[in-house]
Amino acid sequence: MIYEGKQKIWSDYQKEIPDDHWYYVRSCIRQNFFPASERMFTEITRGVLGKDVYETPYHTTCGGIAYHCDTIPQETVMTIVARQFALMTEAGYENYVASCITSFGNYSETLETWREFPELETKIRENLWKACRREFKKPKYLAHSSDLIYHWREEIAKKGRFRLVNRETGEPLRIVEHIGCHYAKMFPHKGVGGAEYPYVLAGMVESWGGQVVDYPERRHCCGYGFRQYHVKANRGYSVSNTHKKFESMEPFHPDAIITNCPGCPYFLDRWQYVIAEQTGKTYGRDGFGIPVFTYEEIAGLVLGYDPWDLGLQLHQVAVEPFLDKIGIEYDPKAKYLGLNREDIMRPGLPDSIKCF
Amino acid sequence: MADFGFKLSKSSTLDLDRTDTRVYDILCKTDPDIRTCMACGSCSASCTAAPFCGMSMRKVILALQRGQDVRPMLGKCMLCGKCTMVCPRGINTRHLILSICKYYD
């Protein structure tokens, strides 16, 4: 191996991430799937780290789901994206951070398309002006919100109350990191570490005391894939992909999975129940599954937030065994109490996979 | 078991660490011309049995390389030898089939 060559390749995939002043856009689906994650992002960045992260209620979908399901053309998506950039320009920001991996991929694709075909950018500017009389500047820096948490990972570790370490054995917890496909597989130079060795989540895990698990299907899709899941006839294909990943990671006995995409944590979490129903197999210990977290949830746990304030009661796979390993205190009776401390009702529990 | 309206499909991934290629290895010694097959499919295209029962010499060779069972396919061959005549690499496919049968016997 030529060490200098490797260093050059690695430096090609490093990403400049400004330290402050970000315009933040939320995801369409994350707030339904894991509602506290985005709330935690703003809480950590503004409250804990004291950064300027601005968001506006006028922000809409980026059009990514419709685009990847082949229901709208790219020109429409680019005009929607142009409107988001116009909102950022009006707010006086130059750094754009997206919470959704598909949005991040969408923004990257739009900017790359404009770079290669400047006449298209002119056309989209015209479309936007005709549609809503807005103008925009392109963002100076485009990032995914996991890039920012990665950038501030050491600060979070310093302020953290817990580490990803088994409190009984003192061993680092074994964490599977799963990166959303649209993060760096489309434009490798846009992500930290590129498509082959994305370091964005691995860096967080290592800084917070955990150990990253390497397994054969590490870069395989979670199985969501818009046209796989959204077309019911293809859902078997979706769950088969997830099954393949779990079969591959099972021998390495991971304690948890950390993800940075809206769809991945949802499908890796929910499909474990479906797989357990169909095959009778669970991948965690003693009939439990492997808990799946977003990076904001893990950051929140490290910082010592109450697990129920992080929305962990909405996970299909029980998170309690993972919390016990770290030694995070929680009140089991408060699991299904809302923010107003009133009961939010309990879900039916399956027989195939152990849950609380 | 809950009916979701969809189910898991079997993975078509080949685990080369667990593939049993003993038959192919033996054939490489007894009929070394099997190594020259480029999977062009001329044998399958000219096969008299193919349109009726799905016989394909190309698939037989591929299955042997993957360590899969080819016995169900062999029973469909009528040993007419057309595949041998059309093979651009000159592989004696008819003899190959007899060798495979011999191994399984």
Domain range enclosing A48: 20-145
DSSP state of A121: H
Percent of chain A with pLDDT over 70: 100
Q: Check whether A1 has a pLDDT greater than 80.
A: no
State how many domains chain B has: 1
Domain assignment of residue B55, yes or no: yes
Nearest residue of chain A to residue B13 (CA atoms): A244
Q: What is the pLDDT of residues A298-333, one digit of tens each?
A: 999 999 999 999 999 999 999 999 999 999 999 999
State how many domains chain A has: 2
Q: Are A130 and A264 members of one domain?
A: no
β-bridge mates for residue A54, sequence order: A23
pLDDT for A231: 84
Q: What is the pLDDT of residues B1-39, one digit of tens each?
A: 788 888 898 877 778 888 889 999 999 999 999 999 999
- Residue A119 tokens read as 């006449």
Nearest residue of chain B to residue A280 (CA atoms): B1
Q: What is the pLDDT of residues A3-52, one digit of tens each?
A: 777 777 777 788 899 999 999 999 999 988 898 999 999 999 999 999 99
pTM of the model: 0.84
Q: Check whether B64 has a pLDDT greater than 90.
A: yes
Higher pLDDT, A4 or A93: A93
Domain assignment of residue B15, yes or no: no
User: 């929305």: which residue's tokens?
Assistant: A311
Say how many CB pairs under 8 Å bridge A and B: 31
Cβ of B2 under 8 Å from any chain A Cβ?
yes
User: 């310093």: which residue's tokens?
Assistant: A158
Q: What is the pLDDT of residues A265-290, one digit of tens each?
A: 999 999 999 999 999 999 999 999 99
Cβ of A184 under 8 Å from any chain B Cβ?
no
Sign of the Cα torsion A227, A229, A232, A238 reads positive
- Asked whether the beta carbons of residue B8 and residue A239 sit closer than 8 angstroms, the reply is yes
* Contact between A235 and A228 (Cβ < 8 Å): yes
CATH classification at residue A322: 3.40.50.11810
Percent of chain B with pLDDT over 70: 100
- Asked whether the beta carbons of residue A277 and residue B1 sit closer than 8 angstroms, the reply is yes
Q: Which residues of A touch B5 (CB under 8 A)?
A: 232, 235
Q: Check whether A139 has a pLDDT greater than 80.
A: yes
pLDDT for B18: 84
Which range among A164-173, A228-237, A314-323 shows the weakest confidence by mean pLDDT?
Answer: A228-237
Domain range enclosing B99: 22-104
CATH classification at residue A48: 1.20.1050.140
Buried/exposed code over A124-161 (b: 16+ C-beta within 10 A; e: otherwise): bbebbeeeeeeebebbeebbbbbbbbbbbbeebbeebe
